[in-house]
Amino acid sequence: MKRVLITGAAGFLGSHLCERFLKEGMYVIGMDNLITGDMRNIEHLMPNPNFEFNHHDVTKFVHVPGELDYIMHFASPASPIDYLKIPIQTLKVGAMGTHNLLGLARVKKARFIIASTSEVYGDPLVHPQTEDYWGHVNPIGPRGCYDEAKRYQEAITMAYHRYHELETRIVRIFNTYGPRMRLNDGRVLPAFIGQALRGEDITVFGDGTQTRAFCYVDDLVEGIYRLLMSDYSLPVNIGNPSEITIGEFAEEIIKLTGTDQKVIYQPLPQDDPKQRQPDITLAKEILGWEPKVSRDEGLRITYDYFRSLPKERLYEESNHRGFESFSASK
């Protein structure tokens, strides 16, 4: 039985990856420090004899007994509301966490994949974004803690690939959505749906003309799986190229939820990307991958999930569990 370590396992995307690799017949070791992850995302997996969970911070030394075939580093705050509150932890998991796990992959002779992001392109001057675009990032802006952590991740991963001949993969993930997103994580889709469910006005930052392209989580997981199993070591964009303005998206959410909210506008945060759309030509050519789930279908599934949550979940605050134990010096 193949064995895979998945960091960030209790997060939105990590939990879906755990499910997928269990279905592929692998033994899955999930790891998370639960600062932004949530055990409710993986509690249904705990009875599975082929799943184990380790509560651990990967910025500390990582030890996993036995053989490992794959290491998937998906641990990181991923939404602005998180990484703006815990910027040092965000940088550490991108730098020290990646270094620790690359070292583990080298010892175990495991294939290694990192979750990079479309944020490495920053506020792009090229549209749509191709993998050979170097990006337009403000390294000292408020978002720099996340953008530069991910850019460093890519750099050290390629260094291990070239110097130690480690098998590595890099997936650049674009906006993704689906069940188990946190309503309070600050990203546009759960924010809009949460506001609709609470009967609040929908808040659009900026004038609503900025664009995003949303990929349903099952499509993303399929792309990640194919990339991990491929022999391609350079970055690959995985996302849905169907682009929409945030203003149009707000109207779609109002129509989906059958609510009658007003749309109110607030100033655009500093360095917020004006356009975001993946060029997935490479994924099509190398992986034979493209998204299958339409936005209408994916939004219906996601809305039904959020609507099924207990009412108190609609009002939960951001859940930096254990964050009080971290000092600014760490």
- The answer for 208, left when phi > 0, alpha when psi is -120 to 50, beta otherwise, is left
pLDDT at 205 exceeding the cut of 90: no
- For residues 46 and 258, the model is more confident at 46
pLDDT at 330 exceeding the cut of 60: no
Say if CB 124 and CB 85 are below 8 A apart: no
Residue 317's pLDDT is 67
How far is 257 from 97, CA to CA, in rounded Å?
Answer: 40
- The β-bridge relationship of strands 70-73 and 3-7 is parallel
Residue 258's pLDDT is 87
The residues carrying an active-site annotation are: 146
pLDDT at 325 exceeding the cut of 70: no
Beta bridge partners of 33: none
Tens-place pLDDT, residues 87-145: 999 999 999 999 999 999 999 999 999 999 999 999 889 999 999 999 999 999 999 99
Tens-place pLDDT, residues 279-293: 999 999 999 999 999
Residue 323's pLDDT is 34
- Please report how the helices 217-229 and 12-23 are oriented relative to each other, as an axis angle in degrees rounded to 10: 60
How far is 170 from 263, CA to CA, in rounded Å?
Answer: 37
Q: Where are the beta strands (DSSP E) in the chain?
A: 3-7, 27-32, 51-55, 70-73, 111-117, 168-173, 176-177, 202-205, 211-213, 215-216, 235-238, 243-245, 263-266
Query: Which own/partner contact pairs does 59-63 have at CB distance under 8 Å and 24+ positions apart?
Result: 59/89, 59/92, 59/93, 59/96, 59/97, 59/100, 60/100, 61/100, 62/31, 62/100, 62/101, 62/104, 63/104
- Both structure tokens of 173: 């993930």
How far is 219 from 35, CA to CA, in rounded Å?
Answer: 26
- Both structure tokens of 214: 């949303």
Question: Which range is least confidently modeled, 17-21, 188-192, 217-221, 293-297?
Answer: 188-192
Q: Model pTM?
A: 0.92
Beta bridge partners of 52: 29
Question: Which range is least confidently modeled, 213-217, 240-244, 312-316?
Answer: 312-316
With a CB cutoff of 8 Å and minimum separation 6, the contacts of 239 are: 118, 172, 173, 174, 175, 176, 213, 215, 220, 278, 280, 291
